[in-house]
Amino acid sequence: MNIGQSLKMATKSIFSNVGRSILTMLGVIIGLAAVIILVSYAQGQNIAMQAYYDSMGTNTINVSAYTWRSGTDITQMLYDYCLGLDGVAGVTPNGQVNVTISYESKTLSNNDWNTMTTVYLGSDQYGKCNDFTIAKGRELSYLDCKRLNKVCVLGSATADELFSFADPIGKTITLNGTPFLVVGVYQSKAAGLNTGTGDDGQWIKDEIKRKDRMVLIPYTMTRYFNNNESISDYVVRAKTKDDIKDVMANLRSYLSTIISQDSGWSDVSAPSDWQDSQNEATAMQQRFLGGIAAISLLVGGIGIMNIMLVTVTERTREIGIRKAIGAERRSIIIQFLIEAAMICGIGGIFGIIVGYIGTLIVCKLSFGAIMFPSVGITFGAAAISIILGIIFGMYPAIKASGLQPVVALRAE
């Protein structure tokens, strides 16, 4: 008997027992769909988290430095030192002042955490260090800081809120009544960010949006608004991830030379440390989801095995009949192999379809964005469930085809 005949025989057998075929397929479908949905969910979550990290500025290093010895201008020294370092892309003070922001008759309220606008003190490199890009106008300049120019750059949300759709450049806003000229507007960080509308995605998006509610003024303005208190927080941005370690080491040793232990303090840290631990947590969650997915695949496999075992006596008798009328062991095994492969293959295709539809729904609900699992994972999972199906599908054939026909015929 040739393969063509075996193929026809297998097809005939599948369609002549639709109920059993569907039940077998169901095991493959459920197992496979579960794996695809869970893996996609984990991947989607990962991508959303990465977007959040990226919005915080990548490769940044936080520096705190303070001295009470007068005559030491740490800000200027740090600025000069950093610009001389190889791996540094930018440096800025990172202070905040608590002031009332107004434009004409409009005053921004600071009561609600979600709509609060923060006024930052920064250098000409503030945007570079915090991943802001100028949309209109210009950045603060070095001279703005040197000369204590009363100028500011607005975050996109703040610009919209104060000026609606009018062009803010050249207009004057007041901070605690002091007029500041708007010289630039930053691009929105939240715009175009694909984290979706789901719960997790929305939270991340809100977090990122909050960063657009800001006003940047030259750091030297700390003298006006903070009773001349000097700035102690800085952000240094390394050129690449690999530079972070060296830059941090250099900063530590430099700070220890300019600030003696009895005259102040300093600290150098990188959010990437924190990000690493977050990634670790995410990876753990992924392993957990992967475990659940593996279990559902196993359960699917057991489902296949069960239905095959249930039909084993029926099939044993059938095999006995086939042997009695002249089927070789080989042709019986080939027929069952093809049959199992076809059932599981069809089940696999449906499983992938159901899995992708499920992914569409789950990701839409939680992230908005759709993250399909990689082709490798899809086909890997499909291969596993199909192999399981084939092994268990062939089980009765392997067992019964080795029997004497009379023994197989006796199966009731």
324, amino acid identity: A
**Which residue, 347 or 405, has its beta carbon nearer to another protein?**
405
Neighbours of 194 (CB within 10 A): 14
CB of 25 to another protein, least distance (A): 17
Examine residue 1 and tell whether it contacts another protein (CB under 8 A).
yes
Edge-to-edge strands, sheet with 233-238: 88-93, 233-238, 60-67, 264-269
Examine residue 324 and tell whether it contacts another protein (CB under 8 A).
yes
Examine residue 310 and tell whether it contacts another protein (CB under 8 A).
no
Q: List the interface residues with another protein, window 371-410 (CB under 8 A).
A: 404-407, 409
- Write down the H helix ranges in 119-266: 126-130, 142-146, 156-163, 199-210, 222-225, 243-258
**Which residue, 20 or 210, has its beta carbon nearer to another protein?**
20
Query: Tokens in use for 321?
Result: 């009949």
**Which residue, 47 or 403, has its beta carbon nearer to another protein?**
403
Query: Tokens in use for 50?
Result: 């990465």
Q: Interhelix angle for 3-16 vs 329-366, to 10°?
A: 60
* Angstrom distance (rounded) from CA 346 to CA 56: 46
* Angstrom distance (rounded) from CA 10 to CA 2: 12
User: Which residue among 256, 328, 374, 383 contacts another protein (CB under 8 A)?
Assistant: 328
Q: Interhelix angle for 18-55 vs 271-310, to 10°?
A: 180
Residues contacting 382, CB < 8 A, separation 6+: 32, 348, 351, 352
Stretch that binds another protein, among 23-31, 220-228, 321-329, 361-369 (CB under 8 A): 321-329
- Angstrom CA distances, 391 to 23, 376, 385, 401, stand at 16, 22, 10, 15
User: Which residue among 205, 210, 237, 323 contacts another protein (CB under 8 A)?
Assistant: 323
**Which residue, 21 or 230, has its beta carbon nearer to another protein?**
21
**Which residue, 20 or 211, has its beta carbon nearer to another protein?**
20
Number of residues engaging another protein in binding (CB under 8 A): 27
**Which residue, 237 or 322, has its beta carbon nearer to another protein?**
322
Examine residue 327 and tell whether it contacts another protein (CB under 8 A).
yes
CB of 24 to another protein, least distance (A): 15
Pattern 7-36, another protein, x by CB under 8 A:
--x--xx--xx-------------------
CB of 340 to another protein, least distance (A): 16
Examine residue 325 and tell whether it contacts another protein (CB under 8 A).
yes
User: Which residue among 83, 249, 321, 383 contacts another protein (CB under 8 A)?
Assistant: 321
3-state secondary structure 270-334: CHHHHHHHHHHHHHHHHHHHHHHHHHHHHHHHHHHHHHHHHCHHHHHHHHHHHHHCCCCHHHHHH
Examine residue 318 and tell whether it contacts another protein (CB under 8 A).
yes
Write down how long the chain is.
Answer: 412
Q: Where does this chain bind another protein (CB under 8 A)?
A: 1-2, 5, 9, 12-13, 16-17, 317-318, 320-331, 404-407, 409
